[in-house]
């Protein structure tokens, strides 16, 4: 039997939210399976929790369950089916770092409800009735996003299988705006996850360009321009070209220009420029990685995946803020044409760079694309530029996998991104741009090398990038883009859509200030 060709880049990311139903009563039709009951309390109402326990628990469980009303999650096998009660308790402290690393109400509900569908499969739950009690819209948005994230399955999607979870019924009709916002966010996160999960024999600069063209074709307010290899050569983007010169798939740049339509407020705003690193696979080049380090290098386009998700969100949510998204794409291969250590490449801004290590390639792509972003003219001149990249292992050694490193030459921009991340449960942490470390990249033959052998690798990488932003307000997010184990709404190891929600929150707040 011929195996069906995998079409992972030819699918639309489905939305579980769009399949949810709202009814004050459980479905009356006959069904083979179990009904589950979920109660989400927006305030800590212990009397309400006790009432729900008495209504659903068998007599022999009542005493032990009522002793646990202070817990945030209560689960038991009720007389009509499994029951889950969620109630976030107010943290009493101590609280460190100004609360920037604590869970927000949004992220708590997202993560708790996101883990629910796995339990439903274990209990063979066919229908799940969810009742939201005294919740606000922020909590409700978290519930919806978490459920939608947990419904995503890479295998099901590429194999064309239907959603295999329970039917969801909400006893409370949610506002249309909350449902729309949650659906746009969840779709964007899942798109970013899906792109990272896609195998490198299918996702490369060419297929990624084709995919984004299809995804955003005909979208109001969005224009797309693609720079192929010839255009990169014409623009003098020697760093970007150098990374991709060993691949049979040439490098490219996608520029997605979003401008709100019929918005008087946004016309007074300069655009936000977002730049993503998209190395679709990174062997390390001639300074080849060991196999253990190369295994997950399909995720080295995590920055582009994140910003592709943000671009989708722009097309769906249409915020009142102009945005330019730049996706720098290349593949770092081992080949006779690959760049070599000691090669000298000339950047678009005229700086010469001696290649010290071919595995420090992402910053080369970003450098040239950053220069494109910051040199736009007139109404397209950006107010600020933010880049997102899976740039260094050093940042993971420092902050772990959950917390991106944040570097910035502008305190206000850094503070806004830090607050945005904290509010959606994607904390980032600011690392100093200590300029004296730049001397470790001195070269006797060029303006600088592309990396150093010393300590502080994440800082020196950021300092390298800073040379290409021409003093514009700039921030750099060094991300991991991957979860190593299933947890919460991330039901399997793989792409996690890191910083999509942070940037959505940041851009939403900027739109409100317009």
| Residue span of the structural domain in which 441 resides | 205-488
Please indicate, yes or no, whether residues 263 and 179 belong to a single structural domain of this protein: no
Whether residue 277 contacts residue 303, with contact meaning beta carbons closer than 8 Å, is answered with yes
Say if 194 falls within a structural domain: no
pLDDT of residue 33: 78
Residue 175: count of CB within 10 angstroms of its CB = 11
Say if 4 falls within a structural domain: no
State the catalytic residues. 289, 363
Please indicate, yes or no, whether residues 141 and 244 belong to a single structural domain of this protein: no
Say if 237 falls within a structural domain: yes
CATH number at residue 470: 3.40.630.10
Please indicate, yes or no, whether residues 181 and 217 belong to a single structural domain of this protein: no
pLDDT of residue 405: 98
Phi then psi for residue 17, to 5 deg, are -55, -35
Among 129, 153, 185, residue at a domain's last position: 185
CATH number at residue 133: 3.40.220
Among 130, 153, 185, residue at a domain's last position: 185
pLDDT of residue 264: 72
As a whole number of angstroms, the distance between CA 87 and CA 400 comes to: 29
Please indicate, yes or no, whether residues 34 and 172 belong to a single structural domain of this protein: yes
Please indicate, yes or no, whether residues 66 and 123 belong to a single structural domain of this protein: yes
Residue 399: count of CB within 10 angstroms of its CB = 19
pLDDT of residue 93: 72
Please indicate, yes or no, whether residues 119 and 181 belong to a single structural domain of this protein: yes
Say if 429 falls within a structural domain: yes
Q: Is the peptide bond before 333 cis (omega within 30 degrees of 0)?
A: no
pLDDT of residue 12: 82
499: which 2 tokens?
A: 């910083």
Task: List, in order, residues 6 or more apart from 28 with CB less than 8 Å away.
Answer: none
Please indicate, yes or no, whether residues 385 and 295 belong to a single structural domain of this protein: yes
Please indicate, yes or no, whether residues 312 and 433 belong to a single structural domain of this protein: yes
Please indicate, yes or no, whether residues 296 and 155 belong to a single structural domain of this protein: no
Q: Domain tally for the chain? A: 2
Please indicate, yes or no, whether residues 155 and 214 belong to a single structural domain of this protein: no
pLDDT of residue 29: 62
As a whole number of angstroms, the distance between CA 483 and CA 471 comes to: 34
Which residues, in sequence order, are bridge partners of residue 125?
34
Say if 11 falls within a structural domain: no
pLDDT of residue 30: 67
Say if 6 falls within a structural domain: no
Say if 95 falls within a structural domain: yes
Among 156, 185, 214, residue at a domain's last position: 185
pLDDT of residue 1: 40
Please indicate, yes or no, whether residues 319 and 392 belong to a single structural domain of this protein: yes
pLDDT of residue 106: 97
Closest CA to 310 of 416, 215, 395: 215
pLDDT of residue 2: 42
pLDDT in tens, the chain (514 residues): 445 455 678 778 888 998 888 776 666 666 677 999 999 999 999 999 999 999 999 999 999 999 989 999 999 999 999 999 999 988 777 788 988 899 999 999 999 999 999 889 888 899 999 999 999 999 999 999 999 999 999 998 888 887 888 989 998 889 999 999 999 999 999 999 999 999 999 999 999 999 999 999 999 999 999 999 999 999 999 999 999 999 999 999 999 999 998 777 767 789 999 999 999 999 999 999 999 999 999 999 999 999 999 999 999 999 999 999 999 999 999 999 999 999 999 999 999 999 999 999 999 999 999 999 999 999 999 999 999 999 999 999 999 999 999 999 999 999 999 999 999 999 999 999 999 999 999 999 999 999 999 899 999 999 999 999 999 999 999 999 999 999 999 999 999 999 999 999 999 998 777 5
CA angle, 361 then 374 then 409, to 5°:
80
Closest CA to 483 of 88, 115, 96, 71: 115
Whether residue 36 contacts residue 124, with contact meaning beta carbons closer than 8 Å, is answered with no
Task: List, in order, residues 6 or more apart from 204 with CB less than 8 Å away.
Answer: 247, 249, 280, 281, 331
DSSP 140-174: HHHHHHHHHHHH--HHHHHHTPPP-S-EEEESSPP
Please indicate, yes or no, whether residues 287 and 395 belong to a single structural domain of this protein: yes
- C-alpha distances in angstroms, 336 versus 143, 204, 246, 333? 52, 20, 7, 10
Say if 200 falls within a structural domain: no
């Amino acid at each position: 039997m011929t195996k069906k060709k995998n079409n992972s880049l030819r699918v639309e990311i489905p939305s579980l939210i769009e399949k949810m139903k709202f009814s004050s009563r459980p479905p009356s039709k006959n069904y083979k399976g179990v009904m589950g009951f979920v109660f989400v309390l927006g305030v800590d109402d212990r009397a309400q929790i006790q009432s729900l326990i008495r209504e659903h628990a068998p007599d022999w469980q009542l005493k032990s369950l009522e002793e646990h009303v202070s817990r945030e999650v209560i689960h038991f096998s009720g007389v009509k089916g499994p029951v889950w009660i969620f109630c976030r308790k107010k943290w009493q402290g101590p609280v460190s770092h100004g609360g920037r690393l604590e869970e927000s109400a949004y992220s708590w509900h997202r993560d708790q409800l996101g883990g629910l569908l796995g339990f439903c499969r274990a209990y063979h739950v066919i229908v799940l009735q969810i009742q939201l009690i005294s919740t606000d819209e922020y909590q409700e948005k978290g519930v919806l996003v978490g459920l939608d994230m947990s419904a995503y399955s890479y295998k099901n999607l590429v194999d064309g299988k239907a959603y295999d979870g329970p039917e969801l019924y909400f006893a409370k009709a949610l506002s249309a705006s909350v449902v729309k916002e949650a659906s746009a966010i969840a779709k964007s996160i899942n798109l970013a996850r899906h792109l990272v999960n896609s195998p490198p024999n299918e996702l490369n600069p060419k297929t990624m360009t084709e995919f984004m063209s299809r995804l955003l074709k005909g979208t109001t307010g969005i224009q797309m321009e693609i720079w192929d290899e010839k255009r990169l050569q014409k623009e003098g983007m020697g760093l970007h070209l150098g990374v991709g010169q060993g691949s049979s798939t040439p490098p490219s740049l996608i520029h997605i220009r979003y401008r709100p339509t019929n918005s008087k407020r946004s016309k007074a705003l300069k655009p936000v420029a977002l730049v993503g690193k998209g190395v679709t696979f990174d062997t390390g080049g001639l300074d080849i990685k060991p196999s253990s380090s190369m295994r997950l290098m399909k995720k080295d386009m995590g920055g582009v995946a994140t910003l592709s998700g943000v671009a989708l969100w722009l097309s769906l949510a249409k915020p009142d803020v102009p945005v330019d998204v730049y996706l720098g794409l290349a593949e770092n291969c081992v080949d006779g044409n690959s760049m070599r250590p000691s090669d000298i490449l000339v950047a678009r801004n005229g700086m010469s760079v001696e290649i010290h290590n071919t595995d420090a390639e992402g910053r080369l792509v970003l450098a040239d694309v950053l220069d494109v972003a910051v040199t736009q003219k007139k109404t397209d001149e950006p107010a600020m530029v933010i880049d997102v990249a899976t740039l260094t292992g050093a940042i993971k050694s420092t902050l772990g996998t959950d917390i991106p490193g944040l570097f910035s030459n502008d305190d206000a921009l850094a503070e806004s991104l830090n607050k945005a991340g904290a509010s959606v449960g994607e904390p980032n942490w600011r690392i100093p741009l200590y300029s004296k470390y730049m001397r470790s990249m001195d070269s006797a033959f060029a303006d600088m090398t592309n990396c150093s052998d010393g300590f502080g690798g994440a800082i020196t990488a950021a300092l390298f990038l800073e040379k290409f932003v021409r003093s514009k307000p700039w921030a750099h997010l060094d991300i991991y883009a991957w979860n190593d184990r299933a947890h919460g709404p991330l039901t399997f190891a793989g792409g996690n859509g890191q910083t999509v929600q942070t940037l959505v929150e940041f851009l939403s707040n900027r739109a409100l200030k317009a």
